[in-house]
Structure 1
Amino acid sequence: MNTVKLIATAAMGLEAIVADEVRALGYTNVKVENGKIIFDADPSGIARANLWLRTADRVKLLVGEFKATSFEELFEQTKALPWADYISKDAEFPVIGKSVKSTLYSVPDCQAIVKKAVVESLKKRHKIEWFEEEGALQRIEVAILKDLVTLTIDTSGTGLHKRGYRYLHNEAPLKETLAAAMIKLTNWTPDRTFVDPFCGSGTIPIEAAMIGQNIAPGINREFAFENWEWFKQEWTDRALEEAEDLAKYDQPLQILGTDIDHKMIELASNNAIEAGFPDQITFKQMQVKDFTTRDEYGVVVGNPPYGERMQEKNYVENLYRELGRTFRPLDTWSAYFITSYEHFEKLYGAKATKKRKLYNGNIRTDFYQYWGKRPPRK
């Protein structure tokens, strides 16, 4: 097996960022589609992609793709794929599915047929009649879009946003993948001050620290592929060694996370310690209006309350006015805020330099970008 075709799934609006990350890993045959980035890699790329992709949701191994409008076509073409190359005879291989705008619209039926076809394919190669499924998890997905069937095996296990450092969080946590994407959309470099005025459980500051020190986001967690029989330990070891070599643990950081709630400050501090940043991030209980700085250049990234509930509306509107009064005068700083509140610019008191549509879970939001003056070139 010299090459594999991989799919990095992405939240709507983040595809271009994920594609840039894939290319940064050195993969050139990259195809971008809605919600996914398809690319070729050698098998060790499974480990590298899972370790390094900050903004992707999962990495899937593409087994096959074909058109099917009948259950018979689905069965026969699934059965013809080389499942035994990837799935060991003791593996656990459940099938999940989805179907959109397709002739084969019954997802439970499609799942059952794919399962049966995979079993028949494995029987032929493994020379056994019954599969106990007590070994490593190799979850299969059948996804049908406009009659095009895509069959994949999930290499990640739990989603890539589960970095392993956030055991506790607030009621409405921002996914680590979205936090990383927001930071990547800024002009921040680790030699500048970074501030999150609504740090909550600390996700944005921690992701900034990981980016600032070039630490692979998956370095402290496990993945499904690590237990696969055919996946060589040396591929994982090589990817981990590369991640350690590229990390810049000595890179100084000036990162501040503030929140009005002292419980959130305690929670964020504990999460930062868990992530390996006991001293690199400062957390402080503070109201937005009390923020001051002597630093000439900096970047603010915030996920303020959106005012989704009617009783919060007045509080949120006043908060957005305070944001403007606090950060607008810092003309050499850049500020970035994500919110679903459509009149944010009016309350902030300035039109954004740029606005980008993003989804925070199922909530459609805008990412308001206010670019400050650039530092002089050194």
Structure 2
Amino acid sequence: MSEPITLVATSAFGLEAVISRELKQLGYEDQTVENGRVTFQGDLNAICRCNLWLRSADRVLVCLGEFTAFDFDDLFEEVRDLEWERWMPPSVQFPVRVSTVRSKINSAKNSQKVVKKAIAERLKQHYIKDWFPEDGPLYSVSVSILKDKASVCIDTTGPSLHKRGYRKLTAGAQLKETLAAGLIQLSYWNRERPFIDPCCGSGTIPIEAALIGTNTAPGINRDFTSEGWQQLSAELWEAAREEAHDLMRNDIAFRLQGYDIDPAMIRMARYHAQQSGMEEHIHFQEQPLSELSTPRKYGCLITNPPYGERLGEKEDAEKIYREMKRVCEPLEMWSIYVLTSHPGFERIFGRKARRRKLYNGRIECTYYQFPGPPPPRKKTPWDQATSASKKSTDEKPVDTETANEEE
């Protein structure tokens, strides 16, 4: 299967541009960006690499085809005509999930039955079999129908990509790892700049920043459904993982800071950092927001404070925002990034922000961005040589008359 494969990276709304940039960094330039998905061209190796490396995507899908379907007959015929045998062996498990939005086909349950039957008919014709035990590798089929246009895919990922494997303990209202990575990638932070999360909770944002700072592939320690596929050999996965290990930067030193008022959250954050292998790069400490201060400059503060969504919690959230305004005022050289669903945050914080709509689960949020000045550019050896030369010239101007006399 050397010919190009059409792949789809799905995401939460608002993170499509982030995923597009990630794919370009991996070398996949031929792409189309739509709401909630980026379609791109790759090969079998791309399935392995994208599952390992994409930080803000939910899944990586193989797209078998797209077509228009106005009724169940259209859906059956079009699905049956797809080359299912190219991917699926005769013992395959192929559960089907269908979503339909603003289409003439409006029953997901009935569509699921139609798709399942169409796939079975195609496989029967190819393998000359009347029955399939469905006890082999898993090929989960995903069909989305939007405005009568159907997209038929096979999921290569399995459990969503946000499940990195390090977050083994649970707490209320945790931020998904994929969204946390997106917040960082939408900021100006890099490992050369200070980093603070003053409301770090169970530590997801600092841990994702540490993974980015060390260039650690987020999926390096988990398994994927497509590892059991006949098309993707163990050698292919081994090569992709070996590449990821080779690209990790364990030789660099940086220190991130995460604070929270709840000691249980700090204990959980430290445990998660240990599970991720990033504990040496993050300092977690129990501390109220009111005590936040730092002498460092040109850093990035990225946080996901309480929203006040539940009844009776709104006033508590607004108190936190007022405190955040106070402690951030001295941080004139810092860039501040805050994700919240509270519509009055910008007014309480007292500054105009760049805004970006994002979704934390089903909650519509705004990512408020207050970029500060960039840090001074570090002098390169060329800059230093040029500066020394200029200083020497300034201190000893050339006396052309004397020079001519000496000649």
- Which of the five TM-score ranges fits, normalised by the shorter chain? over 0.9
Give the distance between the partners of 2:46 and 2:98, measured in 1 at CA: 25
Write out per-residue CA displacement over residues 116-138 of structure 1, whole angstroms, 9 at most, x where no aligned residue: 11111111222222111112111
Map of 2:39 onto structure 1 = 38
Give the distance between the partners of 2:325 and 2:9, measured in 1 at CA: 37
Give the distance between the partners of 1:110 and 1:176, measured in 2 at CA: 32
Give the distance between the partners of 1:186 and 1:128, measured in 2 at CA: 55
Map of 2:362 onto structure 1 = 362
Give the distance between the partners of 1:296 and 1:56, measured in 2 at CA: 32
Give the distance between the partners of 1:48 and 1:132, measured in 2 at CA: 31
5+ residue gaps, structure 2, are 379-407
- Deviation of the 1:232 alpha carbon: 1.8
Map of 2:333 onto structure 1 = 332
Give the distance between the partners of 2:347 and 2:75, measured in 1 at CA: 54
- Deviation of the 1:169 alpha carbon: 2.4
Do the aligned partners of 1:192 and 1:254 also contact (CA within 8 Å) in 2?
no
Higher alpha-carbon Rg: 2
Runs of 4+ with >6 A deviation? none
Give the distance between the partners of 2:71 and 2:346, measured in 1 at CA: 52
Do the aligned partners of 1:188 and 1:298 also contact (CA within 8 Å) in 2?
yes
Do the aligned partners of 1:197 and 1:302 also contact (CA within 8 Å) in 2?
yes
Does 2:78 correspond to 1:71?
no
| Paired positions, count | 377
Map of 1:373 onto structure 2 = 373
The 3-state SS of whatever aligns with 2:162 is coil
Map of 1:315 onto structure 2 = 316
The 3-state SS of whatever aligns with 1:310 is coil
Instruction: Map residues 113-192 of structure 1 onto 2, 5 A cutoff.
Output: 113-192=114-193
Give the distance between the partners of 2:368 and 2:214, measured in 1 at CA: 26
The 3-state SS of whatever aligns with 1:163 is coil
Do the aligned partners of 2:194 and 2:297 also contact (CA within 8 Å) in 1?
no
- Deviation of the 1:153 alpha carbon: 0.4
Instruction: For 1:34, give the aligned amino acid.
Output: N
- Deviation of the 1:8 alpha carbon: 0.5
Does 2:257 correspond to 1:261?
no
Map of 2:234 onto structure 1 = 233
Write out per-residue CA displacement over residues 297-329 of structure 1, whole angstroms, 9 at most, x where no aligned residue: 211101000111232222211211111111121
Map of 2:27 onto structure 1 = 26
Map of 2:292 onto structure 1 = 291
Instruction: For 1:189, give the aligned amino acid.
Output: N
Q: TM-score, length-normalised on structure 1?
A: 0.97
Does 2:296 correspond to 1:275?
no
Map of 2:101 onto structure 1 = 100
- Deviation of the 1:41 alpha carbon: 0.2
C-alpha RMSD over aligned residues? 1.1
Instruction: For 2:139, give the aligned amino acid.
Output: Q
Map of 2:403 onto structure 1 = none
Do the aligned partners of 1:191 and 1:252 also contact (CA within 8 Å) in 2?
no
The 3-state SS of whatever aligns with 1:64 is strand
Instruction: For 1:245, give the aligned amino acid.
Output: D
- Deviation of the 1:145 alpha carbon: 1.2
Q: TM-score, length-normalised on structure 2?
A: 0.91
Write out per-residue CA displacement over residues 2-26 of structure 1, whole angstroms, 9 at most, x where no aligned residue: 2210010111111111111111110
Do the aligned partners of 1:321 and 1:349 also contact (CA within 8 Å) in 2?
no
Map of 1:218 onto structure 2 = 219
Write out per-residue CA displacement over residues 329-372 of structure 1, whole angstroms, 9 at most, x where no aligned residue: 111111110111111122222222x1111111111111111112
